[in-house]
Amino acid sequence: MSKQTRSTCPYCGVGCGVIISTEGAQITGVRGDPDHPANYGRLCTKGSTLALTASAAITEQTRLLQPMQRLNRKSEPKATASAVSWNHAMDFAASGFSKIIAEHGPDAVGFYISGQLLTEDYYVFNKLAKGLLGTNNVDTNSRLCMSSAVAGYKQTLGADAPPTCYDDVKHAECIFIVGSNTAYAHPVLFRRIEDAKAANPQLKIIFCDPRRTDTAEIADLYLPIQPGTDVSLFNGMLHIMLWEGWLDNAYIRNHTTGFEALKATVRDYTPELVAETCGIKKDDLMLAAKMFATSSATLSLYCQGLNQSSSGTAKNAALINLHLATAQIGKPGAGPFSLTGQPNAMGGREVGGLANLISGHRDMANPEHRAEVAALWGVDSVPDKPGKSAVEMFQAAADGEIKALWIACTNPVQSMPDQATVRRALERAELVVVQEAFATAATCDWADILLPATTWGEKTGTVTNSERRISRVRSAVAAPGQTRHDWAIVVDFAQRIEAKTGREKTLFPYSVIKPELGVETIWNEHRESTRGRDLDITGMSYAMLEASPQQWPLTEGQSTGKARLYEDAVFPTPDGKARFVNTVYKPVAEPRESRFPFSLTTGRLRDQWHGMTRTGTLGRLFGHVAEPSVQMNPQDMARRLLVEGALVHVTSKRGSIVVPVQASNEIAPSQAFIAMHWGEEYLSGLSAAGTPLAGVNALTTSAYCPSSKQPELKHATVKIIQA
Ligand code: SF4
């Protein structure tokens, strides 16, 4: 008899509900949950093939199923690791971290975690570092994904809270998609946009992106801007709106501050200048401004094209400025809507899982916030020294300042920019612990200790999707081999550290013997930490989530969450008003030059996910794109006498890879594109110093936004030469 378990897709931030079918210990099928408000039964190719990725054969071939130790990693990188007991692995890790902290202080260790962890996992990692060990060195791959959106929301609206919901797609009269290949990266949401367009022919869609991706097919107006020029575009649109009298002056006067300074700045962003900077037609710029400002409801959907930028925060803020200036916010179908890349980047932010945050959307730099969290955890204090963000953490390890790294559920050896620095960091670190479900993740090769974790289909907890909706993730099958839940691994480690320090009462009183109870206890502690905060979920029990996923905030006593924020035009700032940010356009960190004449951009394929540890196990997911390539404009290929499929060296200032070239009219002249997913199995290369590297991040730059510290993964300059 087949068992059915409701859960959530582990891939993107759309957060689709799934129903998992199991026969005994085997997942036999996955279908969309017709009752889940994120997808109403729909799934994309990735979600609908989940069951195949969890077969017994694939589990056997790809999973890390027992703790391992690599005794001579420093002298022999990638040496074979040997199986050890959990007790030995955890004792080794706890002793190693304790010794390094005793000798060098708590900031000599760092935790690099993941937007694919569940909220409960994230919570205990954060508490371990900030509450027990005394370091804010906890950062996550969400830094590479959403930190510019976080900073943009906080600077303008006062809180890290997307004010919109998926339902707004059907209420919008204008949808502005910018820096997002929604058709590939958020396919089920894209289906909603298609439905809305079919139902309402009056709906106008503007698509803005350097690449003319499949998302452009639905657009009434396509703006092929030059990479990194978004702030110029948004300021130029505001200039036109001002000139044409399309602003909502009453809204600006009553509900915002800071407009006069911005008005003075955008005076210089004339249509002629902006059209030239962005490489678009002036008439198209004028039309975009008109469509945005004069529609009855404008919804902006945006993603990594804005976030992964050395101006990421300014791009987010400049777009939100447009919504505030036209009052396109706080009403059905209107508002800025950042699309979350990963399944639980939002949940991580909620528990404070970034180096500059603490629990409940609190700021590490705020003494009152630190005191509140210290009281909640029952510790004397939470450290006030700023933690290292992702790029800073690996740089600090490469410099010898961080000596122990704990990496969980993420694959920095493939996904971080400037791979040469990441490899130097891992070579130099005295102790590297990797907590991971897949033995095939490249980062496993760099671990002293490998801790096998459970993954989708086996885990229990919660995730938050792009529209602030929290859904349950449920285990459908038992943990395979010796794998353990991520939160339970952290609790075991923390209790060993506590034993070494002689603490009498554990900060981690969560039952690992009864994991269903343990994980719910963590959830309830997290809920309590949000009391009185913008994301207050004190009313959101597991029992309530059993019945239906819910959006935050949902305070104690309420029965449903809030679909849309700021409908009363009151913002979570000291004076209740939203703030215009005086945004100024700055070019990309690495402009094109004669030696490196191409702008390289990166992005997703339709059917692959991140480093392919899961999707790469299925042949059918290679049907859409079978192998890596660098896409170029046919004119650029002709000028360089390159023919389709020819091998080329793609070289930046940091490294070089060899890859076949593919002609594509999606790509503008002087630009190039390589998908982010291909690892060393597919795409080998060398650093500028001759170290073996792999994947597109051999080329990318770690230059980052000064506010959000999110690196500019979307742009590096390269040269392309026949191999
Ligand atoms: Fe999963 Fe995203 Fe596809 Fe939904 S759209 S099925 S969440 S990958």
Q: Is residue 580 part of a domain?
A: no
| Strand-strand pairing, 655-663 and 647-651 | antiparallel
Average pLDDT over residues 600-629: 96
Domain check: are 416 and 283 in the same one? no
Domain check: are 119 and 168 in the same one? no
| Strand-strand pairing, 692-694 and 671-675 | unpaired
β-bridge mates for residue 647, sequence order: 660
Pocket test for ligand 1, best of 8, 9, 49, 614 (most atoms within 8 A of CB): 9
pLDDT tens digit sequence for 177-194: 999 999 999 999 999 999
Token duo for residue 722 = 């026949």
Query: 191-207 burial, b for 16+ CB within 10 Å, e for fewer?
Result: bbbeebbeeeeebbbbb
**What pLDDT is stored for residue 72 in this prediction?**
83
Pocket test for ligand 1, best of 8, 11, 50, 465 (most atoms within 8 A of CB): 11
Domain count, the chain: 3
18 lines ligand 1 (CB under 6 A): no
What are the residues whose beta carbons fall under 8 Å from the beta carbon of 1, sequence distance 6 or more? none
CA pair distance 27, 10, nearest whole angstrom? 15
ipTM of the complex: 1.00
Domain check: are 250 and 360 in the same one? no
529, exposed or middle or buried, with CB in 10 Å at 0-12, 13-18, 19+?
A: buried
**575 and 492 in contact (C-beta within 8 Å)?**
no
pLDDT confidence tier of residue 694, bands split at 50, 70 and 90: confident
CA pair distance 140, 145, nearest whole angstrom? 9
CA of 453 to the centre of ligand 1 (A): 22
**What pLDDT is stored for residue 502 in this prediction?**
87
In the listed set 339, 366, 400, which residue is the last one of a domain according to the structure?
339
Q: Is residue 572 part of a domain?
A: no
**What pLDDT is stored for residue 603 in this prediction?**
96
CA pair distance 641, 134, nearest whole angstrom? 58
For 631, the 3-state DSSP assignment is: strand
CA of 38 to the centre of ligand 1 (A): 10
**223 and 179 in contact (C-beta within 8 Å)?**
no
pLDDT confidence tier of residue 76, bands split at 50, 70 and 90: confident
Token duo for residue 468 = 């602030």
488 lines ligand 1 (CB under 6 A): no
CA of 707 to the centre of ligand 1 (A): 30
For 113, the 3-state DSSP assignment is: strand
188 lines ligand 1 (CB under 6 A): yes
96 lines ligand 1 (CB under 6 A): no
Domain check: are 614 and 467 in the same one? no
In the listed set 298, 321, 339, which residue is the last one of a domain according to the structure?
339
Q: Is residue 28 part of a domain?
A: no
CA pair distance 266, 69, nearest whole angstrom? 58
44 lines ligand 1 (CB under 6 A): yes
Domain check: are 541 and 640 in the same one? no
- For the chain, the C-alpha Rg in angstroms (whole number) is 24
Backbone angles phi, psi at 169, to 5 degrees: -55, -40
Average pLDDT over residues 564-591: 98
Domain check: are 398 and 533 in the same one? yes
Q: Is residue 310 part of a domain?
A: yes
Domain check: are 121 and 159 in the same one? no
**14 and 38 in contact (C-beta within 8 Å)?**
yes
Whether the predicted pLDDT of 73 surpasses 90: no
Average pLDDT over residues 288-308: 98
Atom of ligand 1 nearest to the CA of 44: 3
Closest CA to 405 of 446, 440, 355: 446
Average pLDDT over residues 680-708: 92
DSSP 478-544: PPPTT-B-HHHHHHHHHHHHHHHHT-SS-S----SSSHHHHHHHHHHHHHHHTTTSTT--TT--HHH
Atom of ligand 1 nearest to the CA of 39: 4
Domain check: are 266 and 174 in the same one? yes
pLDDT confidence tier of residue 78, bands split at 50, 70 and 90: confident
The residue with tokens 């575009």 is 233
CA pair distance 131, 508, nearest whole angstrom? 10
**488 and 515 in contact (C-beta within 8 Å)?**
yes
13 lines ligand 1 (CB under 6 A): no
CA pair distance 75, 304, nearest whole angstrom? 38
Whether the predicted pLDDT of 612 surpasses 90: yes
Token duo for residue 369 = 């916030």
**276 and 225 in contact (C-beta within 8 Å)?**
no
CA pair distance 297, 222, nearest whole angstrom? 19
In the listed set 532, 551, 570, which residue is the last one of a domain according to the structure?
551
N- to C-terminal Cα distance for the chain? 57
CA of 45 to the centre of ligand 1 (A): 8
The whole domain housing 158 covers 147-339
CATH value at residue 395: 3.40.50.740
CB atoms within 10 A of CB 592: 18
Domain check: are 656 and 674 in the same one? yes
Q: Is residue 706 part of a domain?
A: yes
Q: Is residue 41 part of a domain?
A: no
Nearest CA to ligand 1 atom 3: 44
- HSE (side-chain half, CA atoms, 13 Å) at 258: 16
CA of 680 to the centre of ligand 1 (A): 26
Atom of ligand 1 nearest to the CA of 43: 6
**What pLDDT is stored for residue 504 in this prediction?**
83
**What pLDDT is stored for residue 539 in this prediction?**
97
Pocket test for ligand 1, best of 8, 44, 189 (most atoms within 8 A of CB): 44
Domain check: are 203 and 297 in the same one? yes
CATH value at residue 707: 2.40.40.20
- HSE (side-chain half, CA atoms, 13 Å) at 130: 37
Domain check: are 238 and 371 in the same one? no
Q: Is residue 490 part of a domain?
A: yes
339 lines ligand 1 (CB under 6 A): no
185 lines ligand 1 (CB under 6 A): no
CATH value at residue 204: 3.40.228.10
Atom of ligand 1 nearest to the CA of 18: 6
Domain check: are 686 and 541 in the same one? no
Across the chain, mean pLDDT equals 96
- HSE (side-chain half, CA atoms, 13 Å) at 675: 27
Backbone angles phi, psi at 381, to 5 degrees: -160, 165
Q: Is residue 19 part of a domain?
A: no
